[in-house]
Amino acid sequence: PPKEVIITDPEGQRLEGTVGPYDEGSDLVVICEADGGKPLPSVSWWKNDVLLDSTYSPAPHGHIRNELRLSNLNRSDFETEITCKASNTNLTVPKQSSIILDMNLKPLEVKITTIEKPISVGAHTELQCLSYGSRPPAKITWWKGTQKMVNVRDTVSIDENVTLSTVSFVAVAKDNGRYVSCRAENVQMEFSAIENGRVLNVHCKYKNFF
């Protein structure tokens, strides 16, 4: 059988164990080379016992090479094991090497969960927002129009899938009709931000006679 099966990236860096993280939506290129064996082995890529690629070619020094390209990685590829197998006979167990994909994932949803109702001028107000699906956990920011809000508390679930954010502010008259939004993004990824917002309905407690 082949002496060794090695997985590398296109730059020749050896890959073992958990590799990445790779961005959701990106492409993955990995190369497998098998060293020796008579007859020369067939080299194939597998994902959870499903054949991905069986096209191999000779490489220098008597090696056999198979380059795997996976386009547009999605969240179902997260923590997937990809295995390269080299076999030159049915009589021996194939030599193999595996990697597990770590990934950066975009948030799937963001939503202001506080019940929508009118707010009185001068009232201490709290709004809550929930986002899930991001890996690492989403960073949540609150905005009043184009102004970033500051009195914010965040908590992350134990499994790091859900981020809950609370913003506190005292309503003023000019807040009426202003758009408040909650924005969630994976800071490791460009163009991952999603947001949810609402228009504030702020009213005065008393009629102003002055």
79 lies in the same domain as 143: no
Q: What does the CA dihedral 157, 161, 166, 167 come to, rounded to 10 degrees?
A: 140
**pLDDT exceeds 50 at position 209:** no
116 lies in the same domain as 86: no
84 lies in the same domain as 168: no
Evaluate the CA torsion angle 95, 30, 185, 153 in order and state its sign.
positive
Q: How far is CA 30 from CA 14, 47, 57, 115, 157, in A?
A: 10, 13, 15, 49, 34
**Residue 171 confidence (pLDDT):** 93
Residue 13: CATH number of its domain? 2.60.40.10
Domain boundary among 65, 89, 104: 104
163 lies in the same domain as 147: yes
120 lies in the same domain as 195: yes
**What pTM did the predictor assign?**
0.86
pLDDT tens string 166-194: 999 999 999 999 999 999 999 999 999 99
Strand 119-120 to 202-203 pairing: parallel
Residue 140 covered by a domain = yes
pLDDT tens string 21-49: 999 999 999 999 998 777 888 999 999 88
Residue 121 covered by a domain = yes
Residue 208 covered by a domain = no
* Exposed / middle / buried, residue 180 (Cβ in 10 Å: 0-12, 13-18, 19+): buried
pLDDT tens string 87-102: 987 677 889 999 999 9
Q: Give the chain's domain count.
A: 2
Confidence of residue 207 (pLDDT cuts 50, 70, 90): low
**Residue 38 confidence (pLDDT):** 78
Q: Which domain holds residue 67?
A: 4-104
pLDDT tens string 100-159: 999 999 999 999 999 999 999 999 999 999 999 999 999 999 999 999 999 999 999 988
